[in-house]
Structure 1
Amino acid sequence: MEEIIRLPYGKTEREFSIEGLTLLGILKPKRYPEIKDQKEAIYRAIRNPDYGQSLLEIARGKGSAVILVSDKTRRTLAKEIVPVILEELTKSGIPLSRITIIIAVGAHPMLTRDEIKALLGEEITDTVTVVNHNCRDMSSLEYRGISSRGTPIYINKIFLEADLKILTGAVNYHDFAGFSGGAKSILPGISGFPTISHNHLMLLDPSFGSGYNPMASAGVLDGNPVHEDMEETAELTGIDFIINTVVNADGKLSGIVSGTDWKKAHRAGCKMIEEIFSAEIREKADAVLVSAGGYPFDINFYQVMKSVINTMQMIKDDGGIILTASCSEGLGADNLREWLNIESPVRLEEELRKDFNMIGKIAYDIRVGLKDKKVVMITDLPKEEVEFLGFQKADSLEEAKEILSLRENSTIYVVPYGNITTARRVNPL
């Protein structure tokens, strides 16, 4: 019987027949229950947290407070959580005039006033002081020394000067910091550009020309130099309280971790993410057929690259990736072409070490991380764009199989949501 697979593609789906191939599994996030009463869960997390004292307990007697909020690219429920935090702070005696909300954008673009209103709501935006962090404004930063890994530590002054310091955010996989949430609110969230750049360069192996540090990868905390440097930096800032959310594959709230023991709370959130988004595999396949998750996750190539990185560990050393992604808005990064024009891996690494940025990292992913892999795209991108990336374009799965020289009974994994799915190797049967 012919097996038909339907995968998200743009705002629609595409059908693929995997007849003749040996399907090792369809890897996707596990079903995880939604918290039905979000408001009650938020109040409980703030008033009766699992990891330490309540916010009200530690706020009493304090004269000022600062709340870190992630930017618009992350689902953190800030609009629902921040009002409850403000309620508890004012109840403790801290007036709204002594509370500041910092949008912890790291090195991302600062939010406009309208974007802040969409993130926090109009009332909070109009009644509480809300500021964007600016990682390049050195006058707004305070120098706190050098980390044990040599990172110069510059942190937002407003945060450091507040009596009470509160982190909000969301926990999810991060491709080289292990997980988002937790210390990432500090670094990169409210750190200076020199701090961010030095920290992020730890994703590369210390030895020039050796590629990525294998410990700097999704799902790895212990031994991950990027994460450990982030936590060391965060510890120097005096964090008082954390509240981080966990959402399931449907984007619904599934958990809240909170309390004064911010590291323990964050670890609990990471464990939940592993339970939801980590798919077990017992062997590596000849190929993987992966969708970037459909709109908006496949709107451009910049967005879909995460799906490629997530699936690399699912295939054999000589395996292939068949990526289905609309990319209706093209490459999605203005200077990606400029970085990809640096064809020498040595020079590319030199430039990346000199001035680290995420566009350069993607170019390095393509030119170095994927140099031994074959990637075939089923996409709306023009053929010349796909070939410029170093990939090949196919109009069908049959054509992709021919390009990858897949034979009868070649093994394959199917990944409908490559943007949020990672693999965890378990002992073979």
Structure 2
Amino acid sequence: MPRIKIPYHKNFWEIEIEDNNLSGVLESKAHHFKTTMSQEEIIKKALQNPIGSPSIETLVKGKKNMVIITSDHTRPVPSKITLPILLKTIREANPNIDIKILIATGFHRPTTREEMIDKFGEEIVKNENVINHMSQDQACLMKVGILPSGGELWLNRLAMETELLIAEGFIEPHFFAGFSGGRKSILPGIAGAQTVLANHCSAFIASEHARTGVLEENPIHRDMLYAAEKAKLAFILNVVIDGDKKIINAFSGHSQLAHQEGCEFVRSLSKVTKIKGDIVITSNGGYPLDQNIYQAVKGMTAAEACCKEGAVIIMIAACNDGHGGESFYRNMEEAVSPKEVLEKVLKVPMEKTAPDQWEFQILARILNQYKVIMVTDMCDPQMIKNMHMEQADTFEEALVRAYAIKGKDAKVTVIPDGVSVILE
């Protein structure tokens, strides 16, 4: 009987499944990818070999000011490694340039000072000008165009008024944008609330092209590319990480071309053949992505792709920060059933998209078909129950319950890190 490591918060849990029940363990090859280079060497090599773009040193020469977009507290971008190298490289080429670091909060809450220190390190927080993007503060935004979908494009004023705009981030499979990274630093990263809502409308979320690993004909991706172009995003540094959040590759250069190359690398590691299960076990890859129920929906979509009819999903996620979105929680909690949520949301036109609608739409889609047992000892059980899911303190408790529903001979598929795989 194999012991399978599942990320949980800042550690791992080891779980066991009987051999006669276990159908398969589906993992990204990124978790076992080996490189002889240090993380710092990988970043420096990427910066020295930009894709489809002049070097960052060339771009900053003669500039008086610039903005570096970085990810917020919900993303495992290893900024303690990437940002110091990026800042040093820039300042060696242009010692006097004024640099602002803009946190791409998207539609999330602002990143706290404590979270900034945890993510960037105390030296950067103390010595650099770090600013939270505020998607609902109209004074901080500028209207810069109309999205291909028809929604208004509002972006952060600091980013639009700077001489040079670049971004750092990471690339992983994304449950409706296809992949993270690249253009996502702009939309939703530094976009106005009304723009995020338009881009995440119910029709787009329901599209068969708005799925993990899909960029072709993806309407959400199309809007994001347009936003990055209008923002004049001049350069990106995007990393790929393994299960321990260590950098295994990096791509720098043109915001679209470097991102495309990075996505193909991720696809080559993340593609996994589906194995359908009566019970599907997954996680959100541990901290920081498993810190709330909102984010945990991502991992659930991986399990959804491997579910037999009427399957049970066991979702292992700490959710120590609670639900992660008031609108997300209220729309689930106030509904009689997930079906009611789904039927209601599919009737909402683009211009009436509600905050967090995309997340409760996808959660309702999953819950309308499958039972979900959330495994956490760090979240209010009643909150989880109010959102039409079950809660268990331990994995063993959840598995006993799942077998009681599906039978002792139920076939079990395990996806240790649901946000790292593309299931085909």
Q: Please give the per-residue CA displacement for 1:337-389, whole angstroms capped at 9, x wherever unaligned.
A: 5212123333345579634333x444333433431223345665788666544
What is the identity, as a one-letter code, of the residue corresponding to 2:252? S
- 2:297 corresponds to: 305
| CA distance in structure 2 between the aligned counterparts of 1:24 and 1:415, rounded to whole angstroms | 11
Aligned runs of 1:46-61 on 2, under 5 Å?
Answer: 46-61=47-62
- 1:356 corresponds to: 354
Residue 281 of structure 2 is aligned to residue 289 of structure 1:
yes
User: Contact between 1:287 and 1:319, CA under 8 Å: does it hold in 2?
Assistant: no
Is the deviation greater in 226-235 or in 172-181?
172-181
Cα pair distance change 1:391/1:352, threshold 3 Å: farther
User: Contact between 2:310 and 2:371, CA under 8 Å: does it hold in 1?
Assistant: yes
Cα pair distance change 1:396/1:145, threshold 3 Å: closer
Deviation at 1:90, TM superposition (A): 3.2
User: Contact between 2:178 and 2:221, CA under 8 Å: does it hold in 1?
Assistant: yes
- Report percent identity of matched pairs: 29
| CA distance in structure 2 between the aligned counterparts of 1:295 and 1:156, rounded to whole angstroms | 28
| CA distance in structure 2 between the aligned counterparts of 1:121 and 1:412, rounded to whole angstroms | 41
Cα pair distance change 1:158/1:315, threshold 3 Å: same
RMSD between aligned residues: 3.1
Deviation at 1:91, TM superposition (A): 3.6
Secondary structure of residue in 2 paired with 1:24: strand
- 1:72 corresponds to: 73
Using the size of structure 1 for normalisation, the TM-score is 0.83
Q: Please give the per-residue CA displacement for 1:278-301, whole angstroms capped at 9, x wherever unaligned.
A: 3223x5344423355567665654
Residue 79 of structure 2 is aligned to residue 88 of structure 1:
no
- 1:370 corresponds to: 367
- 1:320 corresponds to: 311
Deviation at 1:71, TM superposition (A): 1.3
| CA distance in structure 2 between the aligned counterparts of 1:90 and 1:48, rounded to whole angstroms | 18
- 1:8 corresponds to: 6
Is the deviation greater in 190-199 or in 114-123?
114-123
What is the identity, as a one-letter code, of the residue corresponding to 1:205? A
Cα pair distance change 1:145/1:320, threshold 3 Å: same
Q: 1:266 aligns with which of 246, 254, 259?
A: 259
User: Contact between 1:248 and 1:276, CA under 8 Å: does it hold in 2?
Assistant: no
Deviation at 1:114, TM superposition (A): 4.3
Cα pair distance change 1:385/1:43, threshold 3 Å: closer
User: Contact between 2:315 and 2:372, CA under 8 Å: does it hold in 1?
Assistant: no
Q: 1:217 aligns with which of 204, 208, 211?
A: 211
| CA distance in structure 1 between the aligned counterparts of 2:62 and 2:95, rounded to whole angstroms | 8
Aligned runs of 1:7-406 on 2, under 5 Å?
Answer: 7-8=5-6, 10=8, 13=13, 15-21=15-21, 23-30=22-29, 31-34=32-35, 36-93=37-94, 95-96=96-97, 98-201=98-201, 204-205=202-203, 212-259=206-253, 261-281=254-274, 284-293=276-285, 301-316=293-308, 318-325=309-316, 327=318, 329=320, 331-333=322-324, 335=326, 336-340=328-332, 341-343=334-336, 344-345=340-341, 346-349=343-346, 354-358=352-356, 360-376=357-373, 388-391=386-389, 395=397, 397-404=399-406, 406=407
Deviation at 1:185, TM superposition (A): 0.7
What is the identity, as a one-letter code, of the residue corresponding to 2:261? A
| CA distance in structure 1 between the aligned counterparts of 2:24 and 2:226, rounded to whole angstroms | 39
| CA distance in structure 1 between the aligned counterparts of 2:160 and 2:45, rounded to whole angstroms | 27
Deviation at 1:175, TM superposition (A): 1.4
| CA distance in structure 2 between the aligned counterparts of 1:231 and 1:309, rounded to whole angstroms | 24
Cα pair distance change 1:13/1:91, threshold 3 Å: closer
| CA distance in structure 2 between the aligned counterparts of 1:292 and 1:407, rounded to whole angstroms | 26
Cα pair distance change 1:62/1:411, threshold 3 Å: same
Structure 2 segments unaligned to the other structure (5+ residues): none
Structure 1 segments unaligned to the other structure (5+ residues): 425-429
| CA distance in structure 2 between the aligned counterparts of 1:7 and 1:304, rounded to whole angstroms | 18
Q: Please give the per-residue CA displacement for 1:87-109, whole angstroms capped at 9, x wherever unaligned.
A: 3333434614x222212212222
User: Contact between 1:279 and 1:422, CA under 8 Å: does it hold in 2?
Assistant: yes
Deviation at 1:195, TM superposition (A): 0.9
User: Contact between 2:50 and 2:251, CA under 8 Å: does it hold in 1?
Assistant: yes
Pick the structure with greater CA Rg. Answer: 1
